[in-house]
Amino acid sequence: MAAALSGTASYFGPWTHNRVWAQGAKPIKLGLTCDASGQYGNSGQDDLLGMRMAIDEFNARGGVLGRKIEWITADTETNPATATRVAERFIAQEQCAFLLGAVHSGVANAITQVAAKTGTIYMNTNSSAPSEAGENCSRVKFVWDGNGTNFSKAAVKNAVERIGKKWLLLTNDYVWGHTTSASTKALVEAAGGQIVDNLLVPQNTRDFTSYLLKVQQIRPDVVATAIGGDDIKALRQQITDLRLEERTAWINNQQDWPDIWGAPDSLFGVFGTTWYHKLALPGVEDFVRRWKAAFPRSPIPVPGNVSYNGYMATRELLRAVERAGSTNNAKVIRALEGHKMSAADRMQHFDAYIDPVTHQVQQTIYLAKRNTKPSDPTDLYEILSQTQPQNALDDAAPGKCKLMPFEQLPSYEM
């Protein structure tokens, strides 16, 4: 009976379309280097959802160049050493044509080093140390998130003028924290402010009491944090428990959506982001609807900036392969360098472009604060401002970034 039913079903549906891929064409394989554990485990998995959605959409339309897109992922554990092993395996054993992923800048830098040896194109989806498109830039790497300097430029000058000149920095003790705080310091001083102290917070710190006691003793006008992932969650919780958010102005350089989902009560101060699922822009609602349909069991019910960056990086990479008409790395890199993306296409307020000198995506930078009148439980942000890409540019990056000449780029075509 069951066999008969299934036989009938194959004629009358429902059925899924099995696309006919180009005869004998080898699939294009993507290596998704996403954290599933460690400080950025949640963000890494949210990033993965965005990438998967873009891949599924391309495959539903027939893949790229008539070839199916396949993907593989492994936990990079928020650990540069693990990321190195994963990237080497993806390139050497799994024959991945391209790599995508990373939230932690140390992880992104480790993947870059491995990718550069073979010329493998790598989309750094979500790590945002200014050094990623500065001294650690690479011809093979493209950086999709706004970086620490972009966010500082959008926030600092205004805050020095309106809140106060006495600033304290709380800095996660690794490359993103250091480079972001250095950029904040330069901008604060340029605006006439003063850095009274910079407290370095080791990664995986769980108890912030000693830092908060120092904040209370120093009594700065503004505390600028460059703390990420699980660490910022713990810090936020402890600050709100003590009601310290009411006594000092807090600016968090960048707030990743997975770091605040589930703990909205600890959302305070002003923070930066590149995207929000309730931006009143064309296409946003449709994107959110597609994402929710694709991942109905996601622990986070709506896409945030991390998933958005994963989606955009993957989509633009695959589009670049189509424009290049080949997976040849040099051709794809050329198709990406200087590429312009319309505001409507990226669901942002202003047009964006991939800087050909640094490979950073220059895009709209948003400043936000907690929404006091949410329309639903996911409506956590109130967008305060949107800064044009040219006004948030990291001016120092082009001087620090030296891209490998194309002649020296190891060539491949998968």
Sequence-separated (6 or more) residues with CB below 8 Å from residue 186: none
Q: Are 127 and 176 in contact (CB under 8 A)?
A: yes
Can you name the residues that pair with 33 across neighbouring β-strands? 74, 101
Segment contacting another protein (CB under 8 A): 82-90, 114-122, 194-202, 287-295?
A: 194-202
DSSP 159-223: HHHHT-SEEEEEEESSHHHHHHHHHHHHHHHHTT-EEEEEEEE-TT----HHHHHHHHHH--SEE
Among 211, 257, 291, 381, binds another protein (CB under 8 A): 211
Stretch that binds another protein, among 40-48, 86-94, 323-331, 400-408 (CB under 8 A): 40-48
With beta carbons less than 8 A apart as the criterion, state whether 189 and 195 touch. yes
Q: Which residue's entry shows tokens 């009143």?
A: 280
- Residue 81 engages another protein in binding (rule: CB under 8 A): no
Asked if 214 interacts with another protein (CB under 8 A), we say: yes
* Residue (10 or 210) nearer to another protein, CB: 210
Site for another protein in 144-173 (CB under 8 A): 173
The verdict on 399 binding another protein (CB under 8 A) reads no
How far apart are the C-alpha atoms of 163 and 251, rounded to whole Å? 11
User: Which of 159/201 has CB closer to another protein?
Assistant: 201
Residue 106 makes contact with another protein by CB under 8 A: no
Contact flag: residue 370 with another protein (CB under 8 A):
no
Distance CA 350, CA 60 (A): 29
Bridge-partner residues for 411, per DSSP? none
Considering only 161, 241, 286, 413, the residue that binds another protein (CB under 8 A) is 241
Pairing of strands 28-34, 98-101: parallel
Q: Is 8 in the site for another protein (CB under 8 A)?
A: no
- Which residue among 65, 244, 357, 403 contacts another protein (CB under 8 A)? 244
**Residues near 335 by Cβ (< 8 Å), separated by ≥ 6?**
320, 321, 323, 324
Which residue's CB is nearer to another protein, number 234 or number 404? 234
CB count in 10 Å sphere of residue 107: 30
Report if residue 201 touches another protein, rule: CB under 8 A: yes
Q: Is 413 among the residues that bind another protein (CB under 8 A)?
A: no
Instruction: Give, as ranges, the residues between 319 and 338 that touch another protein (CB under 8 A).
Output: none
Give the residue with the Cβ less far from another protein, 144 or 211.
Answer: 211
Question: How many positions of this chain bind another protein (CB under 8 A)?
Answer: 38
Whether the CB-CB separation of 32 and 100 falls below 8 Å is answered with yes
Among 300, 312, 336, 397, the residue binding another protein under the rule CB under 8 A is 300
Which of 93, 210, 372, 390 is in the footprint of another protein by CB under 8 A?
A: 210
Q: Is 224 in the site for another protein (CB under 8 A)?
A: no
CA–CA separation, 169 vs 252, rounded Å?
10
What is the number of other CB atoms lying within 10 angstroms of the CB of residue 293?
9
Q: Is 196 in the site for another protein (CB under 8 A)?
A: no
Residue closer to another protein by CB (options 299, 399) is 299
CB nearer another protein, residue 231 or residue 355:
231
Which of the ranges 143-151, 240-248, 268-276, 368-376 carries the binding residues for another protein, by CB under 8 A?
240-248
Instruction: Give me the least distance between CB of 201 and another protein, in Å please.
Output: 7
Q: Order the strands of the 166-172 sheet from edge to edge.
A: 194-201, 166-172, 222-226, 249-252, 270-273, 365-370, 381-387
Regarding 74 and contact with another protein (CB under 8 A), the answer is: no
- What DSSP character marks residue 7? H
In this structure, which long-range contacts are made by residues 7-15, counting pairs with CB atoms below 8 Å and at least 24 apart in sequence? none
Q: Does 93 bind another protein (CB under 8 A)?
A: no
Binding site for another protein (CB under 8 A): 36-38, 41-42, 45, 173, 199-202, 204-207, 209-211, 213-214, 216-217, 230, 233-234, 237-238, 241-244, 247, 258, 261-263, 299-300
